[in-house]
Amino acid sequence: MQPKDELAAILRGVQGDRAVLTVQVISTDYGRQYTLNSYRADGVETVLPYGERVQFTPDDLTAACAAAGWGMADAPVKLPGLNHRYILKRGAEMAHTAAEKPWQDVERKARERAMSEIAALDAGENVEILRGLPQEVQAAIYQNAGMSR
């Protein structure tokens, strides 16, 4: 059976309107490897035996969701270790994919970029831009970054 067919069969068996997949995501030299370890639906956690875990691609998951009438309306969530959580909803749009970075990574990278820009200003790079701002704005920038002048 193809991974998309195995995933679709699992999703067709869910009686409720929500399923939470726990997927192990491993980065390899050949890209990311996705393995369905367990899923929670109808108030029951189903852990797949090691030999029955389903390896799939993001396209397999998208196809399985389409075939079974499910969608991923929320971005993936990174769990401790290698696991990610995908929340599927019956009849929802496939607004997100398995290949998408978890929302925490996106927010963390945005924070890191903002902090590095502020640190560059503090270190004197592009200091003329900072000096051109009103003192209140300069103070707010430093306060937001947890720095003082």
Radius of gyration (C-alpha) of the chain in whole angstroms: 22
Q: Which of 13-22, 99-108, 132-141 has the lowest mean pLDDT?
A: 99-108
**What's the pLDDT at 146?**
63
More confident call, 131 vs 34: 34
3-state secondary structure the chain: CCHHHHHHHHHHHCCCCEEEEEEEEEEECCEEEEEEEEEEECCEEEECCHHHCEEECHHHHHHHHHHHCEECCCCCEECCCCEEEEEEEECCCCCCCCCCCCHHHHHHHHHHHHHHHHHHHHCCCCHHHHHCCCHHHHHHHHHHCCCCC
More confident call, 54 vs 147: 54
**What's the pLDDT at 122?**
64
Condensed to tens digits (0 to 9), the pLDDT of residues 104-146 reads 565 666 677 777 776 766 666 556 666 777 888 877 877 776 6
Is residue 46's pLDDT more than 90? yes
Find the mean pLDDT for residues 93-100.
85
Give residue 13's pLDDT band: very low, low, confident or very high (50, 70, 90).
Answer: very high
**What's the pLDDT at 31?**
86
Find the mean pLDDT for residues 48-70.
94
**What's the pLDDT at 132?**
74
Predicted TM-score of the model (pTM): 0.66
Asked if 48 contacts 70 with a C-beta cutoff of 8 angstroms, the reply is: no
Asked if 116 contacts 124 with a C-beta cutoff of 8 angstroms, the reply is: no
Condensed to tens digits (0 to 9), the pLDDT of residues 60-83 reads 999 999 999 999 988 888 888 899
Neighbour count for residue 95 (Cβ, 10 Å) = 11
Find the mean pLDDT for residues 12-16.
92
